[in-house]
Amino acid sequence: MATANLSASARANSGKGVARSLRRDGRIPAVVYGHARESQALSLDAHELTRLLAHINAETTVIELAVDGTSSRTLIREIQRHPLSRGVLHVDFQELVAGEKVTVKIPVVLTGTSIGVRLNGGIMTQILNELECRVDPANIPNRIEVDITDVTIGHSIHISEVKVPEGVEILDDESGTIMIVSAPKEEVAAAPVEGAAAGEPELIRKPKPEDEGADKK
C-alpha cells in the first residue's frame, strides 16, 4: 500500500465565485466526505498538490489528509481538470474506515517478453491497462503484474488467469482480455504484368493504317 501526506484548510464558503478566488490565491478547492462524517469543504495549496500528484498513482495511494491539525486516511475519488490547460480545478477525497473495503482501479503492468514476439516477430497488444477491484484500503497494491513470457502467437491472457494478492477481488468480467499476441503483418509484393519486360512499361497503341496493310502487295 502506497501512502502520502497532504495538508488542507477548512473553508466555510463555497460556490463558483469562492472557487475562482481561491485559485487566484494559489489554492485549490476540495471536499472530503464519508459515511462516518459530514462533507467538509477544504482548500489545498496548489503547488503542494501538484508536486504530490506528479509522484503518486492518485487512485491507489492512501492520503493522510491533515485538516487544521486533525489527520484522516483518505482516497482521492475525483480530480476535476481544466479542459485545455489540464490544471486542477477541484479534488474530492473519501475518508476511509478501518476494515471497510473500497473499490479502486489498479494499474496492470505486463512483465517479461512474449515468446511469440521474441522468436516469431509477433505483435503484442495490451487491451486492459487497469482492473477495477474491491480491497481493504490497508492492502491496496500499487499495481497488478501479469507475466506474458509464455504467450505465443495467436494466444492471449484473460482476467480469469490473473493472479492477485490475497484480499483483492477483481470486479471486471473474468472473460475480458488483458493482452494478445498477433501474427506479424505480411508484405504483399505487386504481381508483375504478364508478358511485359521487367522494368519496362507495356506499350498499348492503335495500329496506323499503313501498318494494317503493310503485308498486302
> What pLDDT digit, counting tens, does each position of 94-115 carry?
999 888 899 999 999 999 999 9
Quick one: 14 and 93 in the same domain?
yes
Identify the pLDDT of residue 128: 97
Quick one: 23 and 45 in the same domain?
yes
Boundary (domain end) residue, out of 74, 97, 120: 97
Residue 144 domain flag: yes
Nearest partner of 62 among 40, 32, 94, 86, judged by Cα: 94
Mean pLDDT of 38-47: 93
pLDDT of residue 214 exceeding 50, the answer is no
Quick one: 84 and 128 in the same domain?
no
Quick one: 128 and 111 in the same domain?
yes
Boundary (domain end) residue, out of 97, 123, 149: 97
| Cα distances (angstroms) measured from residue 127 to each of 104, 149, 169, 178 | 19, 17, 20, 5
Q: Is the pTM for the entire model greater than 0.85?
A: no
Quick one: 77 and 149 in the same domain?
no
Residue 206 domain flag: no
Number of structural domains (the chain) is 2
- What 3 state SS string does the chain have? CEEEEEEEEECCCCCHHHHHHHHHCCEEEEEEEECCEEEEEEEEEHHHHHHHHCCCCCCCEEEEEEECCEEEEEEEEEEEECCCCCCEEEEEEEECCCCCCEEEEEEEEEECCCHHHHHHCCEEEECCCEEEEEECHHHCCCCEEEECCCCCCCCEEEHHHCCCCCCCEECCCCCCEEEEEECCCCCCCCCCCCCCCCCCCCCCCCCCHHHHCCCCC
Domain with 157, as residue range(s), is 103-182
190: left (phi over 0), alpha (psi -120 to 50) or beta: beta
| Cα gap 207→201, rounded to integer Å | 18
Identify the pLDDT of residue 188: 47
pLDDT of residue 204 exceeding 50, the answer is no
Quick one: 35 and 90 in the same domain?
yes
Residue 146 domain flag: yes
Nearest partner of 11 among 37, 36, 35, 44, judged by Cα: 44
Residue 208 domain flag: no
Residue 59 domain flag: yes
Quick one: 77 and 113 in the same domain?
no
Where residue 120 sits, what CATH number does that domain have?
Answer: 2.170.120.20
Which of residues 14 and 154 earns the better pLDDT score?
A: 154
| Cα gap 144→114, rounded to integer Å | 18
Residue 193 banded pLDDT, cuts 50, 70, 90: low
Where residue 21 sits, what CATH number does that domain have?
Answer: 2.40.240.10
Identify the pLDDT of residue 138: 87
Quick one: 76 and 58 in the same domain?
yes
> What pLDDT digit, counting tens, does each position of 139-191 carry?
999 999 999 999 999 999 999 999 999 999 999 999 999 999 999 887 545 55
Phi and psi torsions of 118, nearest 5°:
-70, -40
